[in-house]
Amino acid sequence: MNSLSKLIGDENYSKLEELGNPHVMRIVERYVRLCKPAEVSVITDDPDEIAYVRELAIRNGEEMRLRMEGHTVHYDGYYDQARDKENTRVLLPPGMRVSPWIKTIDRDEGLREIHQLLDGAMRGKEMLVRFFCLGPRSSRFSICALQLTDSAYVAHSEDLLYRTGYEEFKRLRGSSAFFAFIHSAGELDERGCSKNIDKRRIYIDLIDGKVYSVNNQYAGNSLGLKKLALRLAVYKSHQEGWLAEHMLIMGVHPPGKGRVTYFTGAFPSACGKTSTAMLPGNTIVGDDIAYLRIDEEGNARAVNIECGIFGIIKDVNPVDDPVIYKALTTPKELIFSNVLVVDGVPYWLGMGRELPKRGINHSGEWWEGKLDEEGNPIPPAHPNARYTLRLRDLENVDPRLEDPEGVIVEGILFGGRDSDTNVPIYEAFNWGHGVYVGATIESETTPAALEKVGVREINPMAMLDFLVIPVGKYLSDYIEFGRRLKRVPRVYAINYFLKHEGRYLNDKLDKKVWILWAEGRIHDEYDALKTPVGYMPRYEDLNPLFREALNKDYRREDYELQFSLRIDRLLERMRRIEAFYGSEPDMPEEFWKIHNQIKADLKALREESGRSMVPPSYFE
């Protein structure tokens, strides 16, 4: 009898054998022997087998049924509530270089450590062998993903977030061209939470296309197919000439025009990414990760590698987020995590209603005034509490979500949080300038993040945490991608957070007008003002858009204040860009050429106009 068959049983072995893939066989056998699970279940695309995983999560206490049909809740450990940046590291072989902000560990050393931690990590538990597809099935965009885990919650979450992949693995015809993810929650405490969080490790092996994760349950650390797989895809796309991006994909539907224009968009955390993807009147293809490739006609096409959302639930309420709120409060299969539960009903921060004074949350039994071991007040729900649901359960899901050819990208949005410098929207002059715009995204820290407010952090394409190749090479890849396009997307800088005398100059829904203007520019419906930083909207175009889209008047004085060039602030920003990129090797020459041209034009404008703040009327 085959040695693997003895380990996992004939039925499981026959499922693996049917794939005809010796690489899958070797990985499964190696980690069954290393992790030593009590039993193994190989799960195919069969709905009954997938339902088994969901029920297993309930049976072993990783999830608890809630009152509403299909709803469950999961709790991570009290100190396992977010991505562990310190212990997430790239395994670096000799001679390989990444940008200095990426945490690394010597590859041989890291592999030794992680395999020691995985040795026996699944004792007494069931290993689930899962197959998923990153992207639509039968698509040239997509990448197969093998997941080994002892957490039914992890596997159930992936069933909501990704397409089934067992049949996709058959199409590999024995190839090793897939990602592999090995996860164990490790030893569990009395609440079923990971116990040895001091030994929490998430290691990414770019060379071998694997992610190792142990002693954790929070999805950002344990669901390898999400941001951890993004790092693998960045490395793979660099080798192969496409782009793996931290981007939304949305269909913009201008009222009365009978067309849809697809945009992607990159925004750092708390800069408006989800609210943009969910703008009323438009459709969502994805809110997090996109793969972009060039088709035979020279178009940029994008797919959402996911088919679900793992979203922050804080502040989701019926006024600001009606589509998501409705999805969260009607029967369907979805998972809440780290919320307050009372009598089978979930509650979260900012949901628009008063919260109960007692219940169950991520700390166990909870009551108002409860303190943790350090004496800190425990909120009723965690600020990073989440929901996991399928995109198809949203009323505004785009009909091309599952299109294997993806959607043609005609516009790209790069947004940051900036209180005093950038205008609400401007268009880049060309693709190279657009790359510069994306590379120089800045985001200010908020009171929730640090005691010191307003510290600006440059975050190229909102990818700083995920760039496993040097940033200069990453930007060169972007520029080269554009050179290969026959139909180049237009690129826009977005800023929803401009202030004057302490108040925001934009209402929350004004972003709808900025996006509609960008969509109209793509179809040559609006002229624009040429300025040193890019093309800016004309008041005559924005005013009717405000009336049509938001049924409100747009005052000329508001326009003048919002779209004035704050030259001194812009030049200060350029000095920060020089400090950030100045010592980075392999930077494309085009980047510095564009930077220096904008800098010279701004100085000339200040000299010519005699002003440090130049209104848009100056350019008419």
Architecture category of domain 310-393 in CATH? Beta Complex (2.170)
Q: What is the CATH number of domain 3-61+84-240?
A: 3.40.449.10
Closest CA to 417 of 441, 449, 392: 441
Q: How far is CA 611 from CA 452, 501, 533, 608, in A?
A: 31, 19, 16, 8
Minimal CA–CA distance to 150: which of 116, 132, 125, 175? Answer: 125
Residue 585, pLDDT score = 87
Q: How far is CA 147 from CA 151, 227, 278, 338, in A?
A: 11, 14, 30, 24
Question: For 378-430, where are the alpha helices, taking DSSP H only?
Answer: none
Reply yes or no on domain 244-305+401-619 having CATH 1.25.40.10.
Answer: no
Q: Where do the structural domains in the chain lie, given as residue ranges? A: 3-61+84-240, 244-305+401-619, 310-393
pTM, entire model: 0.95
Residues of the chain with pLDDT under 50: 1, 447-451
**Quick one: angle between helices 511-522 and 539-550, nearest 10?**
120
- Active-site residue list: 271
CA distances for 272 relative to 248, 276, 505, angstroms: 11, 6, 15
pLDDT in tens, 490-518: 999 999 999 999 899 988 899 999 999 99
Three-class DSSP category at 620: coil
Asked if residue 351 lies in contact with residue 316, where contact means CB atoms within 8 angstroms, the answer is: yes
In degrees, to the nearest 5, what angle opens at C-alpha 440 toward C-alphas 439 and 445? 125
Structure tokens, 487: 């139909």
Is-contact 98 107, C-beta < 8 A?
A: no
Q: Per-residue pLDDT tens for 377-418? A: 999 999 999 999 999 999 999 999 999 999 999 999 999 999
Alpha-carbon distances of 273 from 180, 248, 265, rounded to whole Å? 29, 7, 7
Q: What is the pLDDT of residue 271?
A: 87
Segment (H or E) for 493 = strand 490-495
**φ/ψ bin of 133: left (φ > 0), alpha (ψ from -120 to 50), beta (otherwise):** beta
Which residues are within 8 A (CB) of 593 and not within 5 positions of it... i.e. 6 or more apart? none
Q: Which residues have CB under 8 Å from 271's CB, separation 6+? A: 415, 416, 417, 443, 462, 496, 497
pLDDT at residue 451, as a whole number: 42
Pairing of strands 535-536, 529-530: antiparallel
